[in-house]
Amino acid sequence: MWFVRFVSSSIGKKVTMALSGLMLLLFLCSHAAGNATIYMSRAVFQGYADELHSHPLIVIVFSTGLFLVFLAHISLGLLLFLQNRQAGASRYTVSTRVVTNSLASETMPYTGLCILLFVLIHVFGFAFGPTGEMISDTVKRLLGHFFYGLFYLVAFAALALHLSHGFWSMLQTFGVNHPRYNKMINKLTYIVPLFFLLLFGGIVLYFMTGRGASF
Ligand code: HEM
């Protein structure tokens, strides 16, 4: 089938990685927007979560789609990592040589695994809370634990590192590469991860430090 042939090809893998990465980034943007309501008030956040859950069909379709995109991104990423290791240096790794942030590019599989572990623990924590607990109370209960919060912060640091290279790599694959814009693109590879780190990290610190006790 043409699709299997495409995904198996070198360019097909890169395009699929970039497209699934873009979708995950869009999810992250919508998740960040939803969670940013925590900064406003408990009522606003609870209102947002209740509104979301009043459309179960949309939630199921969205969650299933997200799961499949995650699966494609992780399995292809793992495949590329193993192929690169076997080949010593493949075309995929060669393209990363011009990257300024080499720490981020070299640690992609490890930061990726760290994010996977985080997502599993995160989704498990929110899905299996005490029955009938309001989502605002779940957030407060979980993030109020010092070590749970600390784990979140470490995972967000890994996410920022992963995004920093992933964002750049995605733009290269889509051909967004022009001397006039490269300076701005390089800046964005720091600004985008930092934005998520501060937004998500701020929520955790709010509860970890006890300031969110009255949330
Ligand atoms: C402090 C930061 C975060 C908070 C407070 C938070 C909060 C939540 C909450 C409340 C839910 C459950 C939504 C519901 O069912 O009502 C959820 C689901 C989820 N979160 Fe987060 N989240 C945070 C950061 C992240 C990050 C950084 C990622 C990804 C790397 C992530 C990935 C997910 C995923 C994949 C789901 C399941 C979505 C679905 O079922 O469709 N979260 N999060």
Query: pLDDT of 82-132, one tens digit each?
Result: 888 887 654 555 444 455 568 999 999 999 999 999 999 999 999 887 888
Determine the residue of 122, 145, 198 to mutate for testing ligand 1's pocket, defined as the one with the most ligand atoms within 8 A of the Cβ atom. 122
Q: Is 126 in the pocket of ligand 1 (CB under 6 A)?
A: yes
Strand stretches in 59-212, DSSP E: none
Ligand 1 centroid to Cα of residue 97, in Å, is 33
Q: What is the DSSP letter of 40?
A: T
Question: Which pLDDT belongs to residue 89?
Answer: 55
For a ligand 1 pocket test, name from 51, 54, 111, 126 the mutation site with the most ligand atoms within 8 angstroms of its C-beta: 126
Identify the CATH number of the domain defined by range 2-214. 1.20.1300.10
Atom 16 of ligand 1, nearest CA residue: 49
d(CA 164, CA 107): 11
Percent with pLDDT over 90 in the chain? 73
In this prediction, residue 88 carries a pLDDT of 67
d(CA 51, CA 151): 29
pLDDT exceeds 80 at position 188? yes
| Both structure tokens of 206 | 């709010």
- CB half-sphere exposure, 9, CA atoms < 13 A: 8
pLDDT (0 to 100) of residue 9: 87
Token pair recorded at residue 139: 């957030």
Amino acid at 133: E
Residue from 66, 73, 171, 68 nearest 113 by CA: 73
204 ligand 1 Cβ < 6 A: yes
User: What is the rounded distance in angstroms from the CA atom of residue 108 to the CA atom of residue 181?
Assistant: 25
Average pLDDT over every residue of 48-67? 96
